[in-house]
Amino acid sequence: FLYNQVQDLKGAIRVYCRVRPFLTGQSNVQSTVDYIGENGDMMIVNPFKQGKDARRVFSFDKVFGTSVTQEQIYADTQPLIRSVLDGYNVCVFAYGQTGSGKTYTMSGPDLSAEETWGVNYRALRDLFYISKERSDSIKYEVFVQMIEIYNEQVRDLLVSDGSNRRLDIRNTTQLNGLNVPDAFLVPVTCTRDVLNLMKIGQKNRAVGATALNERSSRSHSVFTVHVRGRELVSNSILRGCLHLVDLAGSERVDKSEAVGERLKEAQHINRSLSALGDVISALAQKSLHIPYRNSKLTQVLQDSLGGHAKTLMFVHINPELNAIGETISTLKFAERVA
Ligand code: ADP
Ligand code: MG
């Protein structure tokens, strides 16, 4: 059963849309999400528009409404995650404007409450669980790296010596998918190890103040899990790699508001998100030329985008009326890569 599900996902690019609930204190507010259908359809209403632009239907592989739990989200991600132990490379992205729920999906709101854990921790817990289950036939080793890409520079989130060392990207098969070979590569054996590393990484992540969100993330964070398995009978080695990517906020920044550093950040973010969109849509269209070289993000992930690799993009929607512009542009981005 599981095998068939995994086969179905092979080479595929999936797009899931998740609608953030209204936050506490907001009641009786109008939502821009009119309905969510059974087959991954959703209708967006734009009260600022007339005629055919007032209502638009978007279709994805799945659409998750505001009452969907972290557990349900993970249930639909699990087959993909598990295939890493069979030697696949997998990328999971969280895309959306600041405040739309990217970090909630990937990490969750509260590390100390296991039932609120996001995809990252559930994925690792699952990988450890399965590798233990298979330990009679395969001996697995798991390593993690955590980097961020800020203003087109790659930095190690697991080194907190303040050195801000810039890391190089190297795409060579000899490195077995270690595209950022100088980033700290930490062996982990249990979920607790991972939690501790994530805490260090999150603390080191660049945050800046914007009008939208005081601590909005202006960098892409890439949490990478490298798995190496040795089959005990044949002694053959398999390798799989999982990238869990919490992208920088996708909002377009008003040029009259952002100046200096903020403007530079915004331009880097826009450029790298469109480079990511270009790569995924080229892959979706089975194009012969895949433009990996246009951003650091796509260079880092090159081995895990395309070929036999699997990609899952979570796009996040803030259902508030004043977010309608960003909601439409997020959904258009998602439609292009689906
Ligand atoms: P982003 O990372 O995209 O900037 P966050 O994940 O930080 O957004 O979410 C913004 C706020 O909304 C946070 O307070 C978060 O706890 C809350 N939130 C996001 N998604 C959900 C959800 N599915 N259920 C409940 N609260 C959520
Ligand atoms: Mg965030």
> How far is it, in rounded angstroms, from Cα 331 to Cα 253?
18
Q: Identify whether the C-beta of residue 227 lies closer than 8 Å to the C-beta of residue 142.
A: yes
In a domain, 63, yes or no: no
Nearest CA to ligand 1 atom 11: 99
Nearest CA to ligand 1 atom 19: 101
Q: pLDDT for 195-205, tens place per residue?
A: 899 888 877 77
pLDDT, tens digit, 9 for 90 and up, residues 145-155: 999 998 899 98
- Spacing, Cα 109 to ligand 1 middle (Å): 7
Q: Where are the alpha helices (DSSP H) in the chain?
A: 2-9, 70-75, 78-82, 102-106, 119-133, 191-204, 260-284, 296-300, 324-337
Q: Is residue 267 part of a domain?
A: yes
SS3 assignment, position 104:
helix
Dist. CA 205 → ligand 1 center (Å): 17
Count Cβ atoms within 10 A of the Cβ of residue 106 and give its class: 0-12 exposed, 13-18 middle, 19 or more buried.
Answer: buried
Q: What percent of the chain has pLDDT over 70?
A: 89
Confidence check: pLDDT of 1 > 50: no
Q: How confident is the model at residue 220 (pLDDT cuts 50, 70, 90)?
A: very high
CATH, residue 205: 3.40.850.10
Residue recorded with tokens 């036939």: 137
Q: Assess if residue 39 is contained within a domain.
A: no
Residues in the chain: 338
Atom from ligand 1 closest to the CA of residue 316:
3
Q: What phi and psi values does residue 145 have, to the nearest 5 degrees?
A: -130, 155
Q: State pLDDT tens for residues 254-280.
A: 766 777 877 888 889 999 999 999 999
Residue 183: is its pLDDT beyond 80?
A: yes
pLDDT at 212: 43
Averaged over 226-236, what is the pLDDT? 95
For residue 124, name the pLDDT band (cuts at 50, 70, 90). Answer: very high
pLDDT tops 90 at residue 208: no
Give the nearest ligand 1 atom to 216 CA. Answer: 4
Which protein residue has the closest C-alpha to ligand 1 atom 20? 101
Element (H, E) at 58: strand 55-59
Enumerate residues lining ligand 1, CB below 6 A.
20-21, 23, 96, 98-104, 109, 216, 316
Range 134-159 average pLDDT:
92
Q: What is the ipTM of this complex?
A: 0.99
Pocket perturbation via mutation, ligand 1, pick of 19, 20, 326 by most ligand atoms within 8 A of CB: 20
Residue 209 predicted with pLDDT over 50: no
Predicted confidence (pLDDT) per residue in 168-178, tens digit: 888 766 666 68
Query: Looking at ligand 1, which atom is closest to the CA of residue 106?
Result: 6
Please check whether residue 237 is in contact with residue 229, taking contact to mean a CB–CB distance below 8 angstroms.
yes
pLDDT 10s digits, 274-318 = 999 999 999 988 888 999 999 999 999 998 998 889 999 999 999
Question: So what's the pLDDT on residue 16?
Answer: 97
The pLDDT of residue 332: 96
Residue 10 within a domain: no
The mean pLDDT of the chain is 88
Residue 117 pLDDT: 96
In a domain, 114, yes or no: yes
Q: Is the pLDDT of residue 213 over 70?
A: no
Measured in angstroms, how far is the CA atom of residue 248 from the centroid of ligand 2?
7
The alpha carbon of 1 and the centre of ligand 1 are apart by a number of angstroms equal to 33
Task: Measure the CA–CA gap between 248 and 141, rounded to whole angstroms.
Answer: 30
CA-nearest residue, atom 22 of ligand 1: 20
Q: Say if 337 falls within a structural domain.
A: no
CA of 204 to the centre of ligand 2 (A): 14
Q: What is the mean pLDDT of residues 211-227?
A: 74
pLDDT digits (tens, 9 = 90+) for 39-89: 899 999 999 999 988 999 999 999 999 999 999 999 999 999 999 999 999
- Please give the number of the atom of ligand 1 that sits closest to the Cα of 107: 6
Burial label for 335, CB within 10 Å (0-12, 13-18, 19+), is middle
pLDDT at position 4: 45
Distance CA 80, CA 304 (A): 13
Domains of the chain: total: 1
Work out the average pLDDT over 8-23: 81
Predicted confidence at residue 162, as pLDDT, reads 58
Candidate of 104, 106, 269, 313 to mutate for ligand 1, largest count of ligand atoms within 8 Å of Cβ: 104
Parent domain of 151? 76-315
* pLDDT at 69 (0 to 100): 97
Lowest mean pLDDT among 5-9, 125-129, 212-216: 212-216
The pLDDT value given to residue 232 = 95
Residue 269 counted as domain residue: yes
The answer to whether residue 15 sits within a structural domain is no
Model pLDDT, residue 73: 97
- State in Å: Cα 103 to ligand 1 middle: 7
